Structure 1
């Protein structure tokens, strides 16, 4: 599907949402600085796109600096559902995009694991900002490039981010990505167990593992609270273990903030490459990604771009799976059949 067609689809769906809602949509505001673009709803932040890397916290290696990702992403109540520089895996930041095991012109390039110093994905430029049908958004270009010599810009990735109007009870925004080779040589994305567009939640949502898990189980035997700090569930009701690498149309990550439960749900469009794409659900960390590379290798070339669309729903409280299904059906329209 072309960007023009996708833009038209987004506009039509935004209009549908307005007609379907009995409550007036909240007003969206967009602010751009040298460092970031922020979109807010009635003065409350919805998301921030980082044109420049936020300051790297003390104790974190500066190699983990990153531009070109979404964080913070917040719920209507202001609960943040993403993380930047989590101490356990500081290369996983907010909502980001990268491939792990790739080959370009005989070189093995890892764009995901920044500590390797081989490749990374960086913000290049803002293409435009826009408002249409009461939605607000922007288009930006990111570059997938090598860090190690010889330095090469391999892919240009265009993000179109659109925040949709809602009744204020939830947040809704779309991420459309198009990746295209910048040289005459294609990038081969190898079969691998993760890679693609990812969502990373706060480090405090991480589950205990190993000895810590055993200690937690022991505490539970002593009548201590044993509710999970967070959970990941796919459209089939599968958890982190059963759902890992299973094709799915959507995934929900939920976690506790004080006494509150907050969730972010990521929907994959029916038109996506290899849809429904397999999802990598991490067994203990609050992280998942839609990973078409799980089922085999593919190439991204000048005349063979990679295109995908994702919708994000952010809620205070756990969303009803039936409601998520309705959202997916309305978003995909005829393609949902």
Structure 2
């Protein structure tokens, strides 16, 4: 899986290099397999502990007698090259690449980079010069007049489309505890107490940002799930690493991965009880969306009329805003708990037609987390300004669930054989 953090930009060649000195590092083969691909992420582990000098490394795609330079990045630890396929590539296709070292390579333009801007409140991740998402590490207070219990950190808002449209909403009057894109658990048992990390007004628990592990190509943050004990003390019940990796944009979509890694914070287990919502991946949609100008579709063909409490591999939300169509596609990994996971979708007549949807892993089954074990939930998000067809949504999910196959022939002078 592509993860663009700890990465350095690879040179992008803007013109032919002629007879410059070259050293081939690896010949790489990518097979699309049984699925059509759309801007698919590709990762090749170089597998050379001695490859410390990354200057002049260039990735070419070989198309007959033509060699085309490909925008790519180099991850330093472990050494790996990362790029994306160009647009739609059909099933059963084999692509050939060459990783070489050359002199005089140009620095890629800013539009090919994923960057992070950080301030005292939030980190904003950009693809080129366009914002993709913002994550709040500072505590955000509720609107004036609301209960101060509705403050929180550790959530994403806004999430944008490439056209700059905002997809999310926080602190809506009907649910002050809704925070854009977030994932607390609602009904849990911890050390003999029932703890609700979702409904903040209960003052039973909350989720807090603790620290960043990385802010390159996205962010990797530690979030603490804090239980408020009956004696007035606080205790961290779960530690969560939230890993958000953003890909370079193709100009038509933004793509990013949302990975939640849960561990018990101490020797006590915690049970995530069966409940209709909580955990996984939740979104409160733009306040302008309603049951007349937006629609929800799942991988099983369900809509707002009948999606709630069904299971799905993906959820698509799309609707009109003042500045045009906007939406997002949420893909749930096949190895997630209870996959294909149950979904919570507000029916058309609920909450004046406002949009709320989520993958809720414990909607129909309890889940006990044991100390010393790690529990991972993976989701991929594609945001768009033009509504993809169900076939395109299915192709995106197949690409996420069944990545392209990568193999190589290595130049032995540059290290051990690649994988």
Structure-1 residue corresponding to 2:382: 313
Structure-2 residue corresponding to 1:12: 43
Distance in 1 (alpha carbons) for counterparts of 2:386 and 2:221: 31
Distance in 2 (alpha carbons) for counterparts of 1:38 and 1:334: 28
Consecutive unaligned residues in structure 2, runs of 5 or more: 5-39, 45-71, 73-80, 89-108, 405-419
Contact 1:88 1:203 (8 Å CA) reproduced: no
Contact 1:249 1:268 (8 Å CA) reproduced: yes
Residue among 171, 188, 191 paired with 2:274:
191
SS of the residue corresponding to residue 20 of structure 1 reads: coil
Structure-2 residue corresponding to 1:56: 142
Residue among 175, 192, 199 paired with 2:258:
175
SS of the residue corresponding to residue 145 of structure 2 reads: coil
Shift of residue 289 of structure 1?
1.2
1:16–1:281 distance in 2 versus 1, CA, 3 Å: farther
Residue among 258, 278, 287 paired with 1:203:
287
Q: Which has the higher helix share?
A: 1
SS of the residue corresponding to residue 152 of structure 1 reads: strand
Shift of residue 276 of structure 1?
0.8
Contact 2:117 2:125 (8 Å CA) reproduced: yes
Structure-1 residue corresponding to 2:321: 257
Distance in 1 (alpha carbons) for counterparts of 2:341 and 2:225: 22
Is 1:287 aligned to 2:368, yes or no? no
Distance in 2 (alpha carbons) for counterparts of 1:89 and 1:204: 15
Residue among 116, 121, 126 paired with 2:202:
116
Contact 2:334 2:401 (8 Å CA) reproduced: yes
Contact 1:81 1:263 (8 Å CA) reproduced: yes
Consecutive unaligned residues in structure 1, runs of 5 or more: 131-135, 208-227
Structure-2 residue corresponding to 1:230: 294
Distance in 1 (alpha carbons) for counterparts of 2:307 and 2:82: 32
Structure-2 residue corresponding to 1:331: 400
Contact 1:18 1:166 (8 Å CA) reproduced: no
Shift of residue 315 of structure 1?
0.6
TM-score normalised according to structure 2 size: 0.68
SS of the residue corresponding to residue 215 of structure 2 reads: strand
Shift of residue 47 of structure 1?
0.3
Structure-1 residue corresponding to 2:15: none
Structure-1 residue corresponding to 2:335: 271
Distance in 1 (alpha carbons) for counterparts of 2:323 and 2:87: 29
Cα RMSD, aligned residues only:
2.4
Shift of residue 297 of structure 1?
0.8
Residue among 215, 236, 248 paired with 1:129:
215
SS of the residue corresponding to residue 288 of structure 2 reads: helix
Structure-2 residue corresponding to 1:164: 247
Structure-1 residue corresponding to 2:120: 34
1:83–1:33 distance in 2 versus 1, CA, 3 Å: same
Contact 1:86 1:202 (8 Å CA) reproduced: no
Shift of residue 187 of structure 1?
0.6
Distance in 2 (alpha carbons) for counterparts of 1:331 and 1:318: 19
Contact 1:76 1:168 (8 Å CA) reproduced: yes
Contact 1:231 1:240 (8 Å CA) reproduced: yes
Shift of residue 61 of structure 1?
2.4
SS of the residue corresponding to residue 183 of structure 2 reads: strand
Query: Does 277-286 or 10-19 show the bigger shift?
Result: 10-19
SS of the residue corresponding to residue 362 of structure 2 reads: helix
Instruction: Note the alpha carbon deviations across 1:199-230, whole angstroms, 9 max, x for none.
Output: 111223244xxxxxxxxxxxxxxxxxxxx132
Instruction: Note the alpha carbon deviations across 1:266-309, whole angstroms, 9 max, x for none.
Output: 11011111111111111133111111112211111223332110
Distance in 2 (alpha carbons) for counterparts of 1:6 and 1:99: 28
Distance in 1 (alpha carbons) for counterparts of 2:368 and 2:305: 29
